[in-house]
Amino acid sequence: MVTDEKQEVRERVWRELRRRGAARFPGAEGRIPNFTGAEAAARLLATLDQWIGADVLKCNPDLPQLPVRARALEDGKRLYMAVPRLADERPFMLLDPDRIDGPPRKAASIKGASAAATHVALDDVPHVDLVVCGTVAVNRRGVRVGKGGGYSDLEFALLTETGAIDDRTVVATTVHPVQVLDEELPETRHDFRVDVIVTPDDVIRCRRAHRPRGILASHLDADKAAAIPALSGRG
């Protein structure tokens, strides 16, 4: 099963990060791993034309992408993050650099965003120029394996349905080199791929592949769908 294959990949990468001493607090297992060099990867990402030309970003809330979120606010970009588990009628949080008091890094943290952000409805998210997603493993074709919750795929699909994400939207991820694998990775029809992989020292550009065009109702878990207001009636 694809689910089991993905879990094997996750556990292998988590072990290797730990073995190499590349996993930082709070550890690698069971999460998007916080890796050594996350700040350098964010700095390298910020040199790319896709970053420089982006006005609106969507980024995952995990710790390894905190430097990305902070840099986005420092660079004057509007930043959207999903509410945990999408469990809100207004499932996205907007961090507007023009309306933030205090250090961008503090506002970009999970705790800081909960206080500084404005909650917005799905239909109120504008066109997203750049998505930065968290990843456990990724290959050079852009196939990624997340931590297994499936929420990144749901967020991507929902925003695709509203038009906030389209063919102009670039998808990037920041990772440790250990997380970049030279092998085929399991994927399903609802998985999205990344266009750009950024490590602390390298930029890998992937050939754009087909993207999911929205929610695949047949792939939804009924209990999960019932807990997400934006998916009401689809489970």
DSSP string over 46-76 = TTSHHHHT-SEEEE--SGGGHHHHHHHHHTT
Number of separate domains in the chain = 1
d(CA 159, CA 58): 10
- Residue 137 is predicted with a pLDDT of 98
Q: Which residues span the domain enclosing 139?
A: 2-227
The confidence score (pLDDT) of residue 42 equals 98
- Show the beta-strand stretches assigned E in 87-216: 92-95, 118-120, 130-133, 137-139, 144-145, 170-174, 180-181, 196-198, 203-205
3-state secondary structure of 81: strand
Gap between the terminal Cα atoms of the chain: 22
Does residue 220 contact residue 211 with C-beta atoms inside 8 Å? Answer: no
Task: Indicate whether 157 belongs to any domain.
Answer: yes
pLDDT of residue 214: 84
- Is 97 a member of any domain? yes
Q: Is residue 63 in a domain?
A: yes
Does residue 115 surpass a pLDDT of 60?
yes
Tell if the pTM clears 0.85, that is, is over it.
yes
* Ranges of H-type helices in the chain: 2-19, 38-45, 49-52, 66-74, 104-108, 110-116, 151-162, 222-226
Indicate whether 234 belongs to any domain.
Answer: no
pLDDT confidence tier of residue 29, bands split at 50, 70 and 90: very high
Q: Is the pLDDT of residue 129 over 70?
A: yes
pLDDT (average), residues 176-195: 96
Q: What was the pLDDT predicted at 230? A: 87
pLDDT at residue 219 above 70? yes
Mean of pLDDT values over 68-96:
96
215 has pLDDT over 60: yes
pLDDT of 235 over the 70 cut? no
- What is the CATH classification number for the domain harbouring 126? 3.40.50.10420
Supply the pLDDT for residue 217: 72
